[in-house]
Amino acid sequence: MVKRLFTWMLIIVFMLMVFVFLGINLFIVEEDYRRPGRLGSYPHSGSYTFNPETILESLNRKESNVFTAYSGSADEIELYYDLITWSQSDYLKIAHALIQKIWGESPDLKNWNIESLYFAQDCKDNPKGFNRFDIVYYKELGVTNWERKYVTRFIEIQPWRGLARWGGDAIFSSSLLSRWDNIDLENFVISADDALQIAGENGGNETDKSADVCSTIRVSMYQHDNKIWDVNYFAANFRIRIDPNSGKYELLNK
C-alpha cells in the first residue's frame, strides 16, 4: 500500500514538473534585447540614396532605376533637401519599390505582415506629412523549441537626406500563446496623416513647439500595443492615442 502510494506521488510530481515546463514555454520567451525596429538588430543591411524631389513622379511612371547603392554613413551626406514631407501612402509606395529593389520580389502583404510603423515630423503648427518613416515587415516561420519564430525586414526612409536604409533576415521569437498580430493598414479608416490631424485639433496645436520644449512629433503603431496610433509631441508632455477604425481618442497627458 505504501509502495503504491509512493509510486502515485512520483507520478504526480512528474506531471506537475511537465505542466510547469509547458506553462513556462507557452507564456514566456527568453528576453531578447534586440528590437525589430533597430537597424543594428539585422545581420544583413545596406543603404540607398535617391532624389526626393523626383522619386514619386518617377515611380508613377513605372521607372525602376531610382535608387543608388550607398556605402557611406548618413552623417557623410552633405546634400540636404528642405521642406520635403510625404504622406503615409507616399512612404508605402517607396517602401514597396525598395522591397522590389533589395529582395527582387513583389511586396505582397499576403506573404509579409506589418509588425510596426513609425512616422516623424518637426514640431510646428498644423503639420502636414512626415519627414521620416520606419516600417518593419515580418513573416511567421513556424514553431521551434516551443517558440514561434519570425523573420523580419526593416526599412527606414529619410527624404530630407535622400536616404533609405534597410535590414533583413533577423529572427525573433514569441511564446506559443502570444503570436504576432498583423497591422492591417488597408482596412484602417484612420491613416497616420489623419492621426496627426486629429492630434493637432485636440490639443496638439496648443502645445509649446519651441525647440527647447518639443523636439519632434512622433506617430507610431506596434502590433503588440493593441494596434493604436500613438501620437507623441516628444518632450512637450502631450500625447494622444487614436483608434485607427473609429477615430476615438484618449489623451494620455497634456
Q: What is the pLDDT of residues 115-124, one digit of tens each?
A: 999 999 999 8
- Specify whether 85 is located in the same domain as 121: yes
- Specify whether 26 is located in the same domain as 118: no
* Domains contained in the chain, number: 2
Range of the domain at 60: 31-253
- Specify whether 114 is located in the same domain as 19: no
- Specify whether 12 is located in the same domain as 133: no
Average pLDDT, integer, range 142-156: 94
**Which residues, 6 or more positions from 46, have their beta carbon under 8 angstroms from its beta carbon?**
69, 102, 165, 166
- Specify whether 2 is located in the same domain as 67: no
Q: Rounded to the nearest 10 degrees, how much is the dihedral formed by the CA atoms of 109, 110, 113, 117? A: 30
- Specify whether 97 is located in the same domain as 155: yes
Q: Which residue has the cell 519599390?
A: 97
* Nearest-angstrom CA–CA distance, 94 and 106: 13
pLDDT(135) > 60: yes
- Specify whether 99 is located in the same domain as 177: yes
Q: Positive or negative, the Cα torsion across 226, 229, 233, 237? A: negative
Q: What angle do CA 163, 78, 89 make, to 5 degrees?
A: 25
pLDDT tens-digit map of 20-69: 344 444 444 455 668 899 999 999 999 999 999 999 999 999 998 999 99
**Which residues, 6 or more positions from 134, have their beta carbon under 8 angstroms from its beta carbon?**
37, 116, 117, 118, 154, 155, 156, 157
- Specify whether 187 is located in the same domain as 243: yes
pLDDT tens-digit map of 160-179: 999 999 999 999 999 988 88
